[in-house]
């Protein structure tokens, strides 16, 4: 029987290839029993909001890209923060991005909702530290 570190993880990235690679790494590391991949931050927010409003279990870990069309990672975080009474102590958010823009890195570090900034690519070594 496989033992998983977490029950569920959500991967939010508009890159199909990155999602394919990251999901494989998560699967191979037995990181989470359930891995949900959503390419649109708007759809990912709707998914989390609906779970929250229905009283269902939220993903324990969210891997979030920053640079995405329509809604970026920071806007996703802002939308999540707008949910009334959402307790962030049960959700760990890791920004997983290829952006090395110092402004992005500073904004991530200043954001209380984000546990850690991770530069792509995701590795099993990084997962071991989470």
CATH number of the domain bearing residue 14: 3.40.50.2300
Instruction: Find the domain containing 98 and state its range.
Output: 6-129
Tens of pLDDT, residues 28-75: 999 999 999 999 999 999 999 999 999 999 999 999 999 999 999 999
pLDDT at position 130 is 87
Answer yes or no: are the C-beta atoms of 26 and 126 closer than 8 Å: no
Token pair, residue 65, equals: 């890209």
In a domain, 60, yes or no: yes
**1 found inside a domain:** no
Three-state SS at 63:
strand
Three-state DSSP state, 29: coil
| Structural domains counted in the chain | 1
Could you tell me if residue 58 is left (phi over 0), alpha (psi between -120 and 50 degrees) or otherwise beta?
beta
What pTM was estimated for this model as a whole? 0.95
Distance CA 108, CA 105 (A): 5
């Amino acid at each position: 029987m496989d033992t998983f570190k977490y029950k569920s993880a959500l991967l939010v990235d508009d890159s199909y290839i990155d999602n394919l690679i990251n999901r494989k790494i998560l699967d191979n590391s037995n990181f989470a029993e359930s891995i949900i991949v959503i390419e649109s931050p708007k759809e990912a927010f709707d998914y989390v909001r609906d779970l929250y409003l229905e009283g269902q279990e939220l993903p324990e870990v969210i891997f979030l890209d920053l640079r995405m069309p329509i809604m970026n990672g920071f806007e996703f975080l802002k939308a999540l923060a707008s949910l009334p009474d959402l307790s962030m102590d049960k959700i760990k958010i890791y920004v997983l991005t290829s952006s090395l823009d110092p402004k992005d890195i500073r904004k991530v570090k200043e954001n209380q909702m984000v546990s850690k900034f991770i530069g792509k690519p995701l590795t099993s070594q990084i997962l071991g530290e989470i």
